[in-house]
Amino acid sequence: MPPSDASAPLQSSFPSDQRSGRRAFLKYAGGIAAGIAPLAAAHAQSTAGSAKVDFPPDHAQSEASEKMPDPGLPPAERIGYAVVGLGRLTVGRLLPALAQCKYSRLSALVSGDRAKAQKLARQYGLAEQSIYDYGNFDAIATNPDVQVVYIVLPNSMHAEFTIRAARAGKHVLCEKPMANSVAECQQMIQACQQAQRKLMIAYRSQYEPLARALLKMARDKKLGDLREFISANSQNMGDPAQWRLKKALAGGGPLPDVGIYCINAARFLSGEEPVEVQGGIVNNQADPRFREVEESVQFTLRFPSGFTATCSSGYNSHKSQFLRLQGTLGWAELDPGYAYEGNRLRYGLLENGREVIHEPSIAASDQFMLEIDHMSQCVRQDRLPHTPGEEGLQDQRIIEAIYASAQAGRVIRLDAPGNTRGPEPQQEG
Ligand code: NAD
């Protein structure tokens, strides 16, 4: 009698009569096959249409089930990206993230430095023909391997390359800040609309698991009604010759570069848009780093519900990247909150008459990978990105209002924008 339990050890039930060994084995094997057939059929049905390979449970019900990771699409079916600008962010974060993505793959490099591009092409398995420079970039139009152009250039170049990419028929993922002026942001949106291509701004924090957990707490009213947001994003800059310290290339100093994270977080965590802006600037032209851009900016945003954001962003203090939300029932903070990795969430509430501080453990996931795969899923499923051009435009309007307020020494009022965000990102990973 063959065992009905397909997982029973083979040796213990194998027939002992060696002369009839072959016939007995065939009979035994047939029995096993009959026993596992229903399981296999059920399993095949549950994974039909997906590349995911799964296994029936092999542990008792007392054990947590082992989930097989979603492998995503086979590489050839993933959305192809041309990355424009091979600087620190691209080399250090984006190319490694693209290599981990489930719906996206690197398909071209665009650089003014051919030797660097060749080195990276070798590393990431790209052919020589997949390397472009800023001059021949428009030829990307005839490359069917490229569906999205990811722009990672100095801020002043974002508008030009977004418009050229859209005219080449490609979707665009563009680094923050979207551009150096409201007018440029509007041109970028218009160019993508005209070409019927998607435009997403790479606000990685809106895809980061801890920030999303904090957003859920705020929406679930775990902190009560939100009243205040307090945040800083600062770093101490070196080489005075770098593009971040040149106004024409950077558009400003710490405000558009790192202060933008505070503006964006106050907006997406509260779900409101500011109606009043007040800004102050510290200029320090004696320091060669700050001849063209401010040293630091302090600003307050007022929202319709009475919620306020009080923020600081500087280029002359040690790296500090925190945000804190205060509500009527509790507080929550991310410190660091804007880092590439190692962000930390804590929150405090009164529980049974005692102040209790929680530090939930939430599995880390590469925020660049999540953001890029979100764009790919939007392209595949023809969805509006969660952080489209309108999201970048609204931050740029606020940045300009903060500078105008600092210059005029008064509060600047802002009109409410229309919708600036697309549907919530799904679990892309
Ligand atoms: P980087 O200086 O390291 O790289 C910039 C790249 O642009 C270099 O490869 C450089 O050769 C090229 N380039 C082309 N024309 C140039 C010019 N005229 N002057 C200077 N460089 C020129 O900068 P980065 O840190 O990689 O930043 C690139 C973009 O990415 C910026 O818009 C920045 O705001 C954004 N960024 C975003 C994040 C994030 O976390 N989302 C982090 C860093 C940078």
Quote the pLDDT of residue 371.
98
Quote the pLDDT of residue 65.
80
267 and 196 in a common domain: no
Quote the pLDDT of residue 428.
53
Q: Is residue 267 part of a domain?
A: yes
* Residue 421 pLDDT greater than 70, yes or no: yes
296 and 250 in a common domain: yes
* Residue 83 pLDDT greater than 70, yes or no: yes
Q: How far is the CA of 85 from the centre of ligand 1 (A)?
A: 7
CA distance linking residue 379 with residue 80, whole number of Å: 11
Using a 6 Å cutoff on CB, does residue 89 contact ligand 1? yes
Distance set, CA 56 to CA 23, 37, 44, 53, 59 (Å) = 29, 12, 11, 10, 9
* Residue 226 pLDDT greater than 70, yes or no: yes
Which of the 8 DSSP states describes residue 75? Answer: G
Quote the pLDDT of residue 23.
38
Using a 6 Å cutoff on CB, does residue 155 contact ligand 1? yes
Using a 6 Å cutoff on CB, does residue 372 contact ligand 1? no
Q: Is residue 171 part of a domain?
A: yes
Average pLDDT over residues 151-164: 98
CA distance linking residue 377 with residue 324, whole number of Å: 31
What count of Cα atoms within 13 Å lies in the side-chain half-sphere of residue 314? 18
Q: Is residue 43 part of a domain?
A: no
* Residue 255 pLDDT greater than 80, yes or no: yes
Using a 6 Å cutoff on CB, does residue 175 contact ligand 1? yes
Instruction: For the chain, report the end-to-end CA distance as a whole number of angstroms.
Output: 46
Residue of 282, 218, 287 whose CA lies nearest to 254? 282
CA distance linking residue 73 with residue 78, whole number of Å: 6
Q: Is residue 413 part of a domain?
A: no
Residues 6+ apart with CB under 8 A from 203: 176, 264, 268, 371, 387, 391, 392
User: What are the catalytic residues?
Assistant: 176, 261
Question: In testing the pocket of ligand 1, which one of 86, 88, 89 has its CB within 8 Å of the most ligand atoms?
Answer: 89
Quote the pLDDT of residue 123.
98
Quote the pLDDT of residue 35.
37
Quote the pLDDT of residue 67.
79
Alpha helices in 158-287 (DSSP H): 158-167, 182-194, 209-219, 247-250, 254, 260-270
Q: Is residue 247 part of a domain?
A: yes
357 and 232 in a common domain: yes
The amino acid that residue 239 corresponds to is: D
Domain that holds residue 326: 206-364
- Which tens digits make up the pLDDT trace of 339-397? 999 999 999 999 999 999 999 999 889 999 999 999 999 999 999 999 999 999 999 99
Instruction: Single out the residue in 311, 334, 364 at which a domain terminates.
Output: 364
Q: Is residue 370 part of a domain?
A: no
pLDDT confidence band for 17 (50 / 70 / 90): very low
Q: Is residue 90 part of a domain?
A: yes
CA distance linking residue 400 with residue 310, whole number of Å: 17
Q: Which two tokens stand for residue 3?
A: 């065992």
Residue of the CA atom closest to atom 44 of ligand 1:
89
- Which tens digits make up the pLDDT trace of 29-60? 333 333 333 333 333 433 444 567 888 888 99
* Residue 10 pLDDT greater than 50, yes or no: no
- H-helix or E-strand spanning residue 29: helix 21-46
Looking at 53-67, 259-273, 323-337, 388-402, which range is the least confident one?
Answer: 53-67
CA distance linking residue 367 with residue 280, whole number of Å: 32
Quote the pLDDT of residue 56.
87
* Residue 217 pLDDT greater than 90, yes or no: yes
222 and 197 in a common domain: no
Instruction: Single out the residue in 157, 186, 202 at which a domain terminates.
Output: 202
CA distance linking residue 134 with residue 198, whole number of Å: 22
245 and 132 in a common domain: no
The pTM of this model reads 0.88
Which of the 8 DSSP states describes residue 388? Answer: B
Q: Is residue 269 part of a domain?
A: yes
Residue of 302 and 10 predicted with greater confidence: 302
Q: Which two tokens stand for residue 335?
A: 């410190």
Q: How far is the CA of 247 from the centre of ligand 1 (A)?
A: 14
Instruction: Single out the residue in 155, 185, 202 at which a domain terminates.
Output: 202
Quote the pLDDT of residue 120.
98
* Residue 174 pLDDT greater than 70, yes or no: yes
Q: What is residue 58's three-state secondary structure?
A: coil
Cα torsion 100, 104, 107, 112: sign: negative
Residues 6+ apart with CB under 8 A from 102: 70, 71, 72, 73, 78, 373, 428, 429
Quote the pLDDT of residue 50.
58
Using a 6 Å cutoff on CB, does residue 152 contact ligand 1? yes
